[in-house]
Homo-oligomer: A and B are copies of this chain.
Amino acid sequence: MARIVQKYGGTSVGDVERIKKVAERIKATRDEGNQLVVVVSARSGVTNELLARARAVCEFPSERELDMLLATGEQETIALTAMALHGIGVDAVSYTGGQAGIFTDKVHTKAKIKTIDAKPIVRDLEAGKVVIVAGFQGINEEGQITTLGRGGSDLTAIALAAAVKADKCEIYTDVDGVYTADPRVVKDARKLAEISYDEMLELASSGSKVMQTRSVEFAKKYHVVFEVRSSFNHNPGTIVKEEVAYMEKVVVRGVAVDKDQAKVIVSNIRDKPGSAAKVFRSLADANVNVDMIVQNVGRQGVANLTFTVPQTDTAKAVRALEPVLAAIGGGQVTVHEQVAKLSVVGVGMKTHSGVAATLFQALADAGINIEMISTSEIKISIVLDLDRADEAARVAHSAFDLDKV
């Protein structure tokens, strides 16, 4: 007998038929003698419907009331999932985030989990019940409903797995697991059997949409081993954990492409201490998320500063920069939205040199120009022309033999 936490995302519980299928899957796991905590998201589409209604009554809805509103999405799903289990003879009980003892800070719409009081859940598990918990939501000290922000249901599952000391945590989603590259772009991309937290983190922050980084960070911090797998088939997924077998041998684990980037160039600024600080302070104050940064000093003490931001932040970035341009020497701001970021990720990189050389050579051979470069211990990212991004992914994938087991 094992204690298992399963999480089903919005598409997995998208309608009543799918909820019934999820119930069958839960029953099968329960019938093997396991104790089971199940975290569910809102049915796909529901959150957007609720947001549309919110915007229809108020241009800038309050975050407390948004949480109150959005929390209903998961609450509906937990009740329907528990009912579907009852319908096939499985004893089950639903918990809202608050009932599950998920206490958060007071930051509405992106609350952080502070503690989980798992005693009621453990009591129900030991009484033989399947416990269904609303993902994405918690409660603060004052009894206010909070939500955890993007990827919140994954976080709920991983945090509960830590709290109930689960033997396994399974994140069911609409993809089969983590691939060496996006299979829609790179035909011979392979599903990885295992991946380390750090690699998963770098892939997530590099545009792989499987999971948000915060859930992976939480899992790493609390040593929660989890598996990403599909709720639409029974294929094994990808296990995410601290140390991965054969880690030494594999240099690059995967290739990720992020097409949601824009490149911003601040040109002709005075090259003196404080100019860059002024630029990034103004961006930070405007909550613009800056990713890669490159600075070139040209002739006569005039510098160009180049960085990337999410495309949704471009207008905000330009607005934030206008007032500081004069103070830093009266430069110009140029935006290129037709760019993409390609990253190759692998823990093995730490001890292998030549990864950058291999990547740059392969791209050069294909005639693909590199506009920016940034590296971390286990990742190399480049910015390139959006039109060449998919081709670059295929080139990189093959340069590191990722199509071979």
3 nearest A-B pairs in the assembled complex, by CB-CB distance: A58-B87, A69-B79, A72-B72
Query: How does the 8 Å CB contact mask read for A65-98 relative to B, with 1 for contact and 0 for none?
Result: 1101101100110111011101100000110100
Tell me the number of copies of this protein: 2
Chain B residues contacting A323 (CB-CB under 8 Å) are: none
| Residue from B16, B56, B72, B78 in contact with A76 in the complex, judged by beta carbons closer than 8 Å | B72
Docked-complex contact A75 and B83, CB < 8 angstroms? no
Docked-complex contact A94 and B68, CB < 8 angstroms? yes
Query: How does the 8 Å CB contact mask read for A11-54 relative to B, with 1 for contact and 0 for none?
Result: 00000100110010000000000000000000000000010011
5 A-B residue contacts at CB 8 Å? A16-B53, A16-B56, A68-B82, A72-B72, A96-B145
Residues of A within 8 A of B (CB): 16, 19-20, 23, 50, 53-54, 56-59, 61-62, 64-66, 68-69, 71-72, 75-76, 78-80, 82-84, 86-87, 93-94, 96, 99, 143-145
Cα distance, A69 to B81, chains bound together (Å): 10
Docked-complex contact B50 and A76, CB < 8 angstroms? yes
- A66 — nearest CB in chain B belongs to which residue? B79
Most chain B CB neighbours (cut-off 10 Å) among A19, A23, A78, A87: A87
CB distance from A63 to the nearest CB of B (A): 11
| Residue from B16, B71, B79 in contact with A75 in the complex, judged by beta carbons closer than 8 Å | B71
Chain B residues contacting A71 (CB-CB under 8 Å) are: 75
| Residue from B66, B72, B76, B83 in contact with A62 in the complex, judged by beta carbons closer than 8 Å | B83
Docked-complex contact B94 and A57, CB < 8 angstroms? no
Cα distance, A80 to B144, chains bound together (Å): 16
Chain B residues contacting A65 (CB-CB under 8 Å) are: 79, 82-83, 86, 94
The answer to whether A83 and B54 touch (CB under 8 A), given A72-B76, A78-B68, A94-B68, is: yes
Chain B residues contacting A94 (CB-CB under 8 Å) are: 65, 68
Cα distance, A263 to B256, chains bound together (Å): 73
